[in-house]
Amino acid sequence: MKSLKIISWLFVLFIPTASAAYAQQQFTHTVTAKNKYCNSTCSIMDVPELNDNPLAVILVTPHVENGRNLNPHPIGVYYVPFSKKWSIINTDATAIAEGAIFNIQYYPKPDSNQFVYVVPQRGTNPCIDHPGLNTNPNARIRFSPTGSPRGAYFNTDEIKIEYDASALKWCLASVNYQQLLKADTAYNVVITSGTPVGTTVPPLIVVAREDWLVPQKGSVAPLSPGRCETVTPRYENPAILRTDHVIITHQESTGNPDWLRWTGTIQDGSVLITVCNTKEVLPLNYGATVVGGRRVNILVLR
């Protein structure tokens, strides 16, 4: 975590494009020298419905024109208590580019479909427990990193939220699998569509069931506590489609605590497997876990 020192704040014009008082509204925000602050890593916004409104739910995405993104960095939003305004921030603590434009979608008075999810203290690949998302793989969601309960505190890696068929929930993970998500980091989540709660969903069918041996060579080096890596080569099966769901469970036969957690990303004809060593990182804890040669159960459902 990098601490960010807030130096000053100024105002920025905005362009509202929706008329409903409390429904979703949106505008574009342009970074200028006058609205940059916190060591130039942030850009303050001045929006009447967001000012003095820390409970608003806000989504932010870069505005790309002609394939060009002036600020190619992970971004988030957080509420600045002393100015009572919201700010865009580069979560990797780099300077935000002047002239960069961002699309802002916001809900000044959010309902149950717009909420803040906070990563819990324990567990890897944390899952959202929400009645509109549980057992609902057809849901459509959008999200943005936001200020955590401890202030301007973010994961430095970009994350993804995908449906986990084994947990029957939508779960978070690092996009590049290089680190576990930090506890107490937070995300604005908006449910945009999906199968309504209570709707009968057709039963899943088994596409592939495999007792798979993780390759000894070309796989991953011994995995240190708190680290995640992808397994190579991937599991191949031509029957698998990108729209399928995968469940991966570890066969632990040594009697030792099982620190490894396995997830899979479906591709046409294959499954890309990721493994995390969830053992708590402690001082002088240098132990690494061998991954190659272990066995996992792979279940692909459609």
What ranges do the domains of the chain cover?
25-107, 114-193, 206-301
Distance CA(79)–CA(32), nearest Å, equals 19
The SS3 of residue 49 is: coil
Flag whether pLDDT at 19 surpasses 80: no
> Does the pLDDT of residue 254 top 60, yes or no?
no
Q: Which residue has the higher pLDDT, 281 or 59?
A: 59
pLDDT of residue 122 exceeding 60, the answer is yes
What would the two tokens of residue 127 be?
């899952």
Question: Is the Cβ–Cβ distance between 194 and 140 less than 8 Å?
Answer: yes
pLDDT tens figures, 185-210 = 999 999 987 654 444 555 668 889 89
At 35, the pLDDT band (50, 70, 90 cuts) reads very high
The pLDDT tens digits for 67-87 are 788 999 899 999 999 899 999
Residue 120 vs residue 32, higher pLDDT: 32
Q: Stretch 142-158: mean pLDDT, rounded?
A: 86
Residue 90 pLDDT: 93
Query: Band of the pLDDT at 289, cuts 50, 70, 90?
Result: confident
pLDDT band with cut points at 50, 70 and 90 for residue 156: confident
- Of 100, 266, 276, 91, the C-alpha closest to 187 is 91
> How far apart (Å, rounded) are the C-alpha atoms in residues 47 and 65?
24
What pLDDT is attached to residue 21? 39
**What is the C-alpha to C-alpha distance for residues 99 and 282, in angstroms, rounded to an integer?**
43
Say whether pLDDT at 214 is over 80: yes
Residue 270 has a pLDDT of 93
Cα 63-57-67 angle, rounded to 5 deg: 10
Exposed, middle or buried: residue 78 (CB in 10 Å: 0-12, 13-18, 19+)?
buried
Q: Which amino acid makes up residue 252?
A: E
**Quick one: pLDDT at residue 178?**
61
Residue 260 pLDDT greater than 50, yes or no: yes
Q: What is the per-residue pLDDT for 182?
A: 85
- Residues of 82-116 as b/e, b for ≥16 C-beta within 10 angstroms? ebebbbbbbbebeebbbebbbebbbbbebeebbbe
What would the mean pLDDT of 117-129 be, rounded to a whole number?
Answer: 81
Write down the pLDDT at residue 10.
29
Between the CA of residue 74 and those of 30, 71, 143, 236, what are the distances in Å? 17, 9, 13, 32
Adjacent-strand bridge partners of 59: 105
Instruction: Identify any residues that bridge with 58 across adjacent strands, giving them in sequence order.
Output: 106
Model pLDDT, residue 202: 59
CA distance 94 to 73: 8
- What is the per-residue pLDDT for 27? 92
The vertex-10 CA angle with 43 and 70, nearest 5°, equals 25
pLDDT of the residue at 16:
39
**DSSP per position, 103-123:** EEEEESS--TTEEEEE--SS-
92: left (phi over 0), alpha (psi -120 to 50) or beta: alpha
pTM of the model: 0.63
In tens, the pLDDT along 97-111 reads 999 999 999 999 999
Which pLDDT does position 291 carry in this prediction? 85
